[in-house]
Amino acid sequence: MEFDENKAVEYINSQLVAANRKPYDADEVLNVIDMIWDFYEENGLLDIDASDDEADEEDLTADIVEYVRRMLRKDKDAAVSPEDVPLMVEAELAYEDSVIG
């Protein structure tokens, strides 16, 4: 299966709703997804030989959450609440895992 931005947005919003949080419009969710992928790129995680070490996955998630929060603080037009960032990052990572297999 291939990464589908629309399905990723739906999945992330469904996880927010399940946690009794409000969903965001697609542009806001896509902005967060872009920030996650920017983190990957800046940290060399899109390289083919990138390590797939699950031991570092928890640390990586925390690093991504901090990165996204920092980027959202810089984006004065962003409407995403900092409290929703961990859930959104975890949902995006879970969606990635579901399409990778």
State the pLDDT confidence band at 32, using cuts at 50, 70 and 90. Answer: very high
State the pLDDT confidence band at 57, using cuts at 50, 70 and 90. Answer: low
Domain boundaries, the chain: 5-100
**What is the value of pTM for the model shown?**
0.88
Mean local confidence (pLDDT), 64-82: 96
The per-residue DSSP string of 5-45 comes to HHHHHHHHHHHHHHTT-----HHHHHHHHHHHHHHHHHTTT
State the pLDDT confidence band at 47, using cuts at 50, 70 and 90. Answer: confident
